[in-house]
Structure formats: C-alpha cells, structure tokens
Amino acid sequence: MIREKPVRAQPGSAAGASRGKPFAVSSAISFFFLLISFMAPEGLQAGAGRTAMNFLRINASPRSLAMGETGAGLADDSMSAMYLNPAGLARLRYPEASFSYNLLYEDISLQHLSYAHPTRRWGAFGFSGTVLQVEKFDGYDNSGLRVGDVAALDFAIKPVYARRLAGPSEDQGQGLFVGAAAKYARSELDTVSAGAVMADAGALFVRSLGRGTFGIGGSAMSVGRGPDFGGERDKPATVYGLGLSYGAYFFGDPFTLAADVKMPVYDEFSYAAGLEYGVKRILFVRGGFISHQSLGAGWRVGLGIKAKFLQVDYALSEHGKMGMGHLMGVSVRFGEPIETTPHLTPGQEKAAGLIRRARALIQDSRHYEAALSLDEALTLDPNNKEALRLLRQVRDALERSR
C-alpha cells in the first residue's frame, strides 16, 4: 500500500483561446479549460491529511509512460485510455486485450490487464484490473522488536464506457468523445485493509488541422471518497489532467507530439511532454519528460513494435534515488474493425487510410511510395475516384522527373 504526505499545491495557470468554426480548435481549448475548472473546485487547494491508494496514479501504459506520461489529449490505445482519459476508448476500431508488467522498484511490481470492445452503434465498453504487489518484508513493533513478515497488496477493478457524441461522418477517429468509469480499489497492509469506490471521467476532441490531426482532452481520475482505515478516512489520490496532441506524417511515417498538465489534488502540479516516431509503421521510438511529481520525475524512453494484430511495448523510466523502472506491455487486437462510417466497407475504410498516407507522401515529393499506396488503395476499392485522380497526378510527376 502506498501512502504519501500531501504537498500544498500551487494554484495552476491556464490560458484560453479564440475563434473558430463548428468543432473549432479554439472553442475546444476554451471548453476544456472551463471543464477542468469546474471539475476541481477544491482540488487545486491542498488541505491537511494524507492521500491513500496512490498506486492508482501509476501509469501502466508503456506507450504513454515512454512519452513522458502524456496522453490525456491523445488516448488512442486501450491502456492509455484506461489510465489517462476514458473518452479515448471510443476511438478504438478493433476489440483489444492488453497486459502490462511494471517493475517499479526492488520487490515492488504492478500488473495491469484490460479488455476494450468498440461497437458500431453503442460506443465502446471496457474493463480493467490492476494489482500492486509488494514482497513480504520485516515487521517491527514500537519497541523495535521483529514481529514477523508483513504482507501488502493493492488492487483496483473498473468497468469503462465511452462513445463519440459528434464528428465528421467520413472519419470515426475525429469528433467529440466522452467516457466514464466506476472503480473499486482496495489496500491491504498486514491485518489492516480498506476499500473505496471512485470514478473516472473524461472528454476528448479530435479534428484535422493543417497536414495532421490535433487533439485536446481533459480528465478527472479517481474522484470520490478515500478509504477509511479504522475510523481515519484518508483523502483520495485524485488527479485532474489536461492534454494536447498533434500527429502528422513525417517523410511518410507517423509522428506524434503530446503535452499534458497533471493536477493532483494533494500534490504539486506536474508538466509532461513527449513524442513518438513510427519507422515504417512497424518500429515506434518514443521519448519524453515529466516534471516534479512525488511518484518520480525525469526522463522516459521506450520502443514499440507493431506486427499485424500484435503490439509489444517497452518503457524505461527514471525515479531518482529509487533507480529505474521497467514497464513491458503486450496488446492484441481481434476480429474485424468496426464500421467507422456506415456507408463504407472495411476495405473502403482501409483504402481511405492509404489515400491519406499517399497525400502526405505527395507533399513530401515521395511520389513512388505514394503510387504504391494508391495502387494498394485501388486494389481494395477499385472505383475510388480520389485514388484514381491522385494516381494520375503521381504518374505525371514521375514522368516529369525522368
């Protein structure tokens, strides 16, 4: 069981933004800053007492951890959504099962297991379980005499639901998403134990911006009453978050930037930033940094490998005098993708993605690779007029370069 003395948080700062169209980025920024202010009227004024169940703040997503623990404005994989913003669960296209193992410090580890299931009409459903294990250690009484081994265990389970409220019909991955979860957490230390019921909630807005995709999200995690240890009720490990992300293609490969502000109720604010670059959409290189936080600040790095329906991720995190933390994760996708737009088949949907990639390649003057993407798109959707038009444009460019 992890407990901490609270640190009085300094008042946070936030800045709004300006004009826009329907679903405009500036309106979304203003909305989410207002959302965070509404969700945490007291949370940003730390009070006396202590927090319990701080294991709920430990990030079990290797991808997010390697990117500096960012993701409130991204959350497009199941583990990041479970830990940073439940709204992101509605962005999934495939049913997905994930498992991660986090070796935090010597004799302390955290395991996470989750399953997410998106549907065509009813949003996305998910479930996760987390266990923090501490190997038995020596116990002593008030006089300093050893009284035997002491066991400690923390665990949490939660069902999650998310859905898209609005957005463009041609792209299910964009629009306004909301999500929520109810969780039960329990801490056990030797003969003392206590449980608590809490909730998570989040919102996420994603839209095209320039040559890429912009995202902004806000979340409130572990909101509720803390556990009662024998008449003494501790405060919950509540964290409010705000995140931004931007993803685009760089030399034909996906490149993502993300930044978060984390606002624990009884701890200092922390600021995080990270990036991810996917080499040929197979090998993903990640790095990031998170500022002062009691659970360990510093640099994070990691790698990810995607192969069809299997993804393996690793993250290495710095924890000051406590040493380095190692987090491994595996995700498996199942079945066919959900029909992201009612009028497109899965083949046409995949062709649309190849066409978007071809546009980015054309802008980088990588015409031969763009032609290959368009040929593949036309194999899936032979009558796609946009693919035919772009292919003619690419062939003309290749002819002129000879």
Which band of pLDDT confidence, cut at 50, 70 and 90, is reported for residue 13? very low
- Could you tell me which residues come within 8 angstroms of residue 10 by beta carbon, excluding any fewer than 6 positions away? 268, 269
CA distance 276 to 301: 10
For residue 241, the model assigns a pLDDT of 96
The reply to whether the predicted model has a pTM over 0.85 is: no
Reported as a single tens digit per residue, the pLDDT across 297-311 is: 789 999 999 988 899
pLDDT at 227 over 70: yes
Reported as a single tens digit per residue, the pLDDT across 350-370 is: 888 899 899 999 988 899 999
For residue 332, the model assigns a pLDDT of 95
Cβ atoms of 72 and 202 closer than 8 Å: yes
Which band of pLDDT confidence, cut at 50, 70 and 90, is reported for residue 4? very low
User: 301 by DSSP, 3-state: which?
Assistant: strand
Q: What are the residue ranges spanned by the domains of the chain?
A: 25-333, 346-401
Question: Residue 33 belongs to what H/E stretch?
Answer: helix 25-39
For residue 42, the model assigns a pLDDT of 41
Cβ atoms of 394 and 370 closer than 8 Å: yes
Reported as a single tens digit per residue, the pLDDT across 312-342 is: 999 999 866 667 889 999 999 987 776 544 4
DSSP annotation of 9:
P
pLDDT at 46 over 50: no
User: Mean of the pLDDT values across residues 209-226?
Assistant: 93
For residue 295, the model assigns a pLDDT of 63
Q: In this structure, which topology does domain 25-333 adopt according to CATH? A: Porin (2.40.160)
CA distance 258 to 73: 7
CA distance 271 to 274: 11
Q: Which class for 308: exposed (0-12), middle (13-18), buried (19 or more C-beta within 10 A)?
A: exposed
- 156: nearest Cα among 181, 121, 135: 181
CA distance 156 to 224: 14
What's the chain's average pLDDT? 82
Work out the widest C-alpha separation in the chain, in whole angstroms.
88
